[in-house]
Amino acid sequence: MTIDLMTVLKGVLIGIGGTVALDLWASTLKALTDTPATNWAMVGRWLGHMPQGRFVHEAIAKATLVRHELLLGWAFHYGIGVAYGLVLVLVQGSTWLDRPSPLAPLVLSWALLVAPYFVMMPGLGLGIAGSRTPKPNLTRLKSVLGHTAFGLGMFGTAVALQQLSN
Is 51 part of a structural domain of the chain? yes
Residue 132 DSSP SS3: coil
Residue 146: strand, helix, or coil? helix
pLDDT score for 1? 55
The answer to whether 112 and 161 are in contact (CB under 8 A) is no
Q: How many domains does the chain have?
A: 1
pLDDT at residue 164 tops 60 = yes
Give residues with Cβ within 8 angstroms of 149, minimum separation 6: 21, 22, 24, 25
> Is 100 part of any domain?
yes
- pLDDT of residue 34 exceeding 90, the answer is no
What is d(CA 43, CA 60) in angstroms, rounded to the nearest whole number?
Answer: 8
| CA terminus-to-terminus distance, the chain | 24
Asked whether residue 20 is assigned to any structural domain, the reply reads: yes
In a domain, 1, yes or no: no
Residue 2 located in a structural domain: no
Half-sphere exposure of 7 (CA within 13 A, CB side): 17
pLDDT at 43: 97
Q: Which residue has the higher pLDDT, 65 or 1?
A: 65
**In the predicted model, is pLDDT for residue 166 greater than 90?**
no
Angle between helices 69-98 and 40-49 (to 10 degrees): 100
pLDDT, residue 29, reads 93
pLDDT tens per residue across span 35-64: 888 999 999 999 999 999 999 999 999 999
Q: How far is Cα 36 from Cα 162, in angstroms, rounded to an integer?
A: 34
Which amino acid is located at 7 in the chain? Answer: T
Q: Return the pLDDT at 36.
A: 86
Question: How much is the pTM?
Answer: 0.94
Residue-averaged pLDDT of the chain: 95
Residue 141 has pLDDT above 60, yes or no: yes
The string of pLDDT tens digits covering residues 56-94 is: 999 999 999 999 999 999 999 999 999 999 999 999 988
Residue 121 maps to a domain: yes
Rounded to whole angstroms, what are the CA distances from 93 to 13, 14, 102, 135?
Answer: 15, 13, 14, 39
User: What is the extent of the structural domain holding 150?
Assistant: 7-33+40-165
Alpha-helix residue ranges (DSSP H) falling in the chain: 5-33, 40-49, 69-98, 103-111, 114-115, 121-124, 136-165
pLDDT at 12: 98
